[in-house]
Amino acid sequence: MPEPTSTAAATIASAMVSVPAITLLGIPLGLRADMLVAGFAGSLVSIILLNTVPPYGDTWRDLMRTTLRRMFVSAASALTAGYLTPIVMLAVALPDPLIMGGAFGVGAGAQKLLMATIARLNAAPVRQDGAP
């Protein structure tokens, strides 16, 4: 018969390894909190170091607009990292220990990637006869 402390230690260790998915109003969203945090950190690096949301002016209205845009970019980058990191990790065939680095990278590049994807999807199809 195993000792009671060994099963308790195994239960605690397995609980620490598994990250629960986030739920909203009882609906599981399929997001992991650790990927959201890594994506948020990546978006902050993108905003601060890569200057993906440059300031426009120094009036209070411009500063408020820039601040709100930065907040929305951070939230969108974190959500993008939460949902797309597992797909990117499968596509690139990276091992599971690198998942937080992948979430950070997806969060950092999410704004440019989403803008390029939207521009590509909204592009007008080119007709073969040359007519617009």
Q: What DSSP assignment string belongs to 40-85?
A: HHHHHHHHHTS-SS----SSHHHHHHHHHHHHHHHHHHHHHHHHHH
What would you report as the CA-atom Rg of the chain, rounded to the nearest whole angstrom?
A: 21
Confidence (pLDDT) at 4? 53
Compute the distance between CA of residue 24 and CA of residue 57 in angstroms, rounded to an integer.
38
Closest C-alpha to 47, from 63, 64, 70: 70
Q: For residue 115, give the H/E element and its range.
A: helix 99-122
The pTM of the whole model exceeds 0.75:
no
Other CB atoms within 10 Å distance of the CB of residue 89: 18
Name residue 24's beta-bridge partners. 27
Place of tokens 């599981």: 28
- Expressed in percent and rounded to 5, the helix, strand and coil fractions of the chain are 70, 10, 25
Q: pLDDT tens digits, residue range 22-68?
A: 777 777 777 888 888 888 898 888 888 877 777 777 788 888 888 88
Burial class (CB in 10 A: 0-12, 13-18, 19+), 78: buried
Judged against a pLDDT cut of 50, whether residue 15 lies above it is answered with no
Summary mean pLDDT of the chain: 77
